Amino acid sequence: MKSSETNILVVDDEREITELIALYLEREGFRVHTSDHGEEALRIAETLIPDLIVLDVSLGKMDGVEVCRSLRQGACADVPILFLSCKSEDRDIIRGLSEGGDDYITKPLSPSQLAARIQAHIRRRRTRERIAEEQVNTLSYPGLEIDFVSLEVRLDGELVGLSAKEFELLTVLARQPNRVFPLEELYRRVWQSDSMGDTRTLMVHISNLRKKLEIDPASPRWVQTVRGFGYRFCPAISCDESSPIPI
């Protein structure tokens, strides 16, 4: 996966640090989202499902450890979380890691070291995901089953006739439920090339996929639009309405 397709959420109440990290990571090609308090960070994380979260321990009303604890109970249960902190004592590090953090970096930080650690965590996560995907023959959700051996999709037990591209689109989305995929990334994954800014082909295929899967394509239950960002697959009976994420 290209760095530009990798979403990083940076949470820190010191604007100078947030801007420094965002600037450096954007230069490295990452797509960066920022927040300066815990409640907003949780909302963004649950909507976006980022590839990695950089989280300051010493936030305001809700500190970083509390945020981490909440994230681990939701859709970001397996997203790598890197703590940032001015505290370097063992008990602080142990607390952060025991509450679900994957790494702990003390301030003042080196942006290049942070980027290197981010790359390492993302590589390991992608490797785990690839191995898991290779071992899965079917994906089953309430009312929907995707068979990767027979290349068949069944909706409430009935076979759904999908084209090859429709099947690939559904597969990409369903393998990472709740994650929001930008249009460009979806296009690149399915068509194996850049869209050159024209994503109409993708949107037509999404529309056709919805006509075959949804009871009401205008109010989709499975393949949902996150306004201003892209599409996500919703495995639950219903998903919370998501606020638009600026890009």
pLDDT more than 70, % of the chain = 94
Q: What is the DSSP letter of 142?
A: T
Please give the backbone phi and psi of residue 35, each rounded to the nearest 5 degrees, phi first.
-155, 150
Average pLDDT over residues 31-35: 94
Query: What dotted CATH number matches 136-233?
Result: 1.10.10.10
Residue-wise pLDDT tens digits, 113-161: 899 999 989 988 888 777 777 777 889 999 999 998 888 999 999 999 9
Cis preceding linkage at 108, omega within 30? yes
Average pLDDT estimate for 98-114? 86
Element (DSSP H or E) covering residue 27: helix 15-27
For the chain, the structural domain boundaries read 3-132, 136-233
Domain at 3-132, CATH from 1.10.3720.10, 3.20.20.70, 1.10.760.10, 3.40.50.2300 = 3.40.50.2300
Question: What is the model's pLDDT at position 237?
Answer: 58
